[in-house]
Amino acid sequence: MSRPQITLPSRLLLGALTAALLAGCGSSAGADGADAPVSADGFPVTIENCGRDVAVEQPPERIVSLNQGSTEILLSLGLADRVAGASGWTDPILPSLEEANASVERLADQAPSYEDVLAAEPDLVTASFTGTLGPGGVTTPDQLARLDVPAYLSAAECDKSEAGNTDGAREGTLELETILQEVTDLAAITGVPEQGEELVADLRARFDAAAEVDASGVSALFWFANAESPYMAGCCGGPGIVARALGLENVFDDTSDEWPQIGWETVADRDPDVIVLGDLTRRSQTAETAEAKIRFLETNPATREMTAVREGRYISLAGAELNPSIRIVDALEAVADGLRRHGLVD
């Protein structure tokens, strides 16, 4: 459904002018309490993003993030003082970012209105999904461009076959490097490239350490949400990164859709060794929590005799850990630990 065109409010214009005057004068508190320096050195900056140029004249001072994944990158870069609003939450913030996030205004638990985004007077809008920043979403990059507000969409969304379909097929396979590219991109357009390099190095080191587990010969199912027509992970999104890194067989890696909806009889036929469950705190689908999912699996006639269900082989992940974001490293670590706990790997 299209949204009506809204005229740029005067306070947004004032905010943009003020940001231009103040850019390079402030500092931002990082997740560890250290300040991330704001510098105009190297600006203007232009990067390519999903076939579009994102041009930023000065370090943004009022960033609005439309999804949790984007917000957690910004906070990890030490930009809390420059995040004017955040939305699109599936889970609590990473514990290491709680202090930084306390100062960030929550515009909405899920998608904010376009009006609320403009009221925050953004000089940069970021998002993790085309379903949020794209056709049918909160707004589009083109709509914001008409207001001279640059917009950045996660690099992980650039190869989606159908614009606006977050759960749809990819043209390629998502890799860790694409997740890290989002970190590098956001660090560049916010003026903190060194913090971006440090974060990338830390994520890569943790990923490599967790990937030393060999789960060859073990099969897994990744269930995000919904009991009636469940969303299961296909081959090529975030869970695919985890599965390939561990040598784990994703029982639905024969579909390129990111989160295809699959019937329970088909699920039972695949009979995985272990089930990875999204443990979400949002309330937009049925069976959001891991507890609700387990209760369903153990009482549903179509699933209660599955091997993983009979053996109680469950691994719970936050919803954000199943999405393409820096939390994919947390997901890899948690799945590796879960496989050890269940005695499926050494």
pLDDT tens, N- to C-terminus, the chain (346 residues): 322 233 333 333 334 333 333 333 333 334 443 445 555 678 999 999 999 999 999 999 999 999 999 999 999 999 999 999 999 998 999 999 999 999 999 999 999 999 999 999 999 999 999 999 999 999 999 999 999 999 999 999 998 766 656 677 788 899 999 999 999 999 999 999 999 999 999 999 999 999 999 999 999 999 999 999 999 999 999 999 999 999 999 999 999 899 999 999 999 999 999 999 999 988 888 999 999 999 999 999 999 999 999 999 999 999 999 999 999 999 999 999 999 999 999 9
pLDDT at residue number 58: 96
Any idea of the CA torsion for 245, 250, 254, 259, to the nearest 10 degrees?
-100
What pLDDT does residue 169 have?
78
Q: CATH homologous superfamily of domain 10-207?
A: Nitrogenase molybdenum iron protein domain (3.40.50.1980)
Domain extents in the chain: 10-207, 213-341
Q: How far apart are the first and last CA of the chain?
A: 51
State the pLDDT at residue 159.
83
Amino acid at 322: L
Q: What is the pLDDT of residue 160?
A: 79
Check for a shared fold between 10-207 and 213-341: yes
pTM, full prediction = 0.86
Task: Please check whether the domain covering 213-341 is classified as CATH 3.40.50.1980.
Answer: yes
Cα 115 from chain centroid (whole Å): 23
